[in-house]
Amino acid sequence: MENLDFFKSRALNDEVFDEETLLSIAQYPLSELIEAAHEITVRKASRVFNFCAIVNAKSGKCSENCRWCAQSRHYSAHCDIYPLLDSSTVIECAKAAQQAGASRFSLVTSGRKLSAREVRETARIVRELKKETTLEICISAGLLTEKEFLELAQAGVTRCHCNLEAAESFFPSVCSFHTFEDKVKSLLAARSAGLEICSGGIIGMGESRRARAQLAIAVRRLDVPSIPINILEPIPGTPLENIERISEEEILRTIAMFRFANPKAYLRFAGGRRRLCEETTRLALRAGINSAIAGDMLTTQGTNVNQDKVLVRQSGYSLESAQTEN
């Protein structure tokens, strides 16, 4: 087995690893793996930590059958149900997020995609947000077309979020109403419209470590600059409600693996991290997490932003603000 420094040097040279190499890297003693990933983060990735706040701008009655999600109309899980929020509610949420220290703000909507009318209304809301805040505006609105993304970009959206969710090999196990390729096409359409892209996935849905390595490689090949890493929180009433939880050690190994595969990217702590103890959270920050989703996260409870800030600063990061971004 090669010395870990050999693989670290390859990552520092921006080499794209294959899955067998990533799996070999993930087998090293955890402390060594975290320290190697930390050095890659320090030397290649941003040390300015940013928070992206989200608003559940349209909730429930989703036509899709994603097996982890409470918003699917095909399952019995409870979630709030409402149409696209009005602009005053969204602006109120955005201002609160900016006051709490977020530099980005994302409108997240349920459903396969927004309708043409909803795209127009969302564009109007975004224009108001740009007048009322200094936040960078992101959109997570399903499988939109390049034309629809362009309309949102012209209104002031700068980034599209569309998680791949899982490796292509595992994706059919957790969703069958749309495909991995549908996700990729949407991300490429957003990029063609001039938007940055943000895409990651959920770990702990019963996938193998190999599948997690495949996902890490997939986002690298798409050159994704912001990669959310969600940890499944099994929700009662969904098909994954009784799945065995992924271990904290495996979560840390996954984060380190993603850092080796994506040396320059923002690895963004997202849903599910509230279940982690403080020591594991600190180790995750050391292993490569350098951004996060702030506050409550859709249909699962989030974390306290002020507590996050303390841990982030103690981990050697400075904090980005909406006033200083760009």
pLDDT, tens digit (0-9, with 9 covering 90-100), for 222-247: 999 999 999 999 999 999 999 999 99
**What average pLDDT does range 65-84 have in this prediction?**
96
Neighbour tally for 276: CB within 10 Å: 18
**Residue 298: pLDDT above 60?**
no
d(CA 49, CA 17): 26
pLDDT of residue 308: 86
Q: Contact, 141 vs 190, CB < 8 A?
A: no
pLDDT of residue 312: 93
pTM: 0.94
- pLDDT-derived band at 297 (thresholds 50, 70, 90) equals very low
**What average pLDDT does range 296-309 have in this prediction?**
61
CA atoms within 13 A on the CB side of 111: 17
pLDDT of residue 294: 81
Q: Contact, 128 vs 95, CB < 8 A?
A: no
* Residue extents of the structural domains in the chain: 4-319
Residue 297 DSSP one-character state: B
4-319 CATH pick, 1.10.10.10, 3.40.50.300, 3.20.20.70, 3.40.50.1370: 3.20.20.70
- CA angle, 185 then 292 then 137, to 5°: 60
pLDDT of residue 321: 73
- pLDDT-derived band at 324 (thresholds 50, 70, 90) equals very low
- Give the list of residues 6+ apart from residue 320 with CB closer than 8 angstroms, or none: 48, 49, 50, 51, 103
- Write the single-letter amino acid at 109: T
Report strand pairing: 136-140 vs 104-109: parallel
d(CA 309, CA 304): 9
Phi then psi for residue 31, to 5 deg, are: -65, -40
Place of tokens 């320290």: 35
Reported as type and span, the H/E element at residue 35 is helix 30-44
Tokens of 110: 């349920």
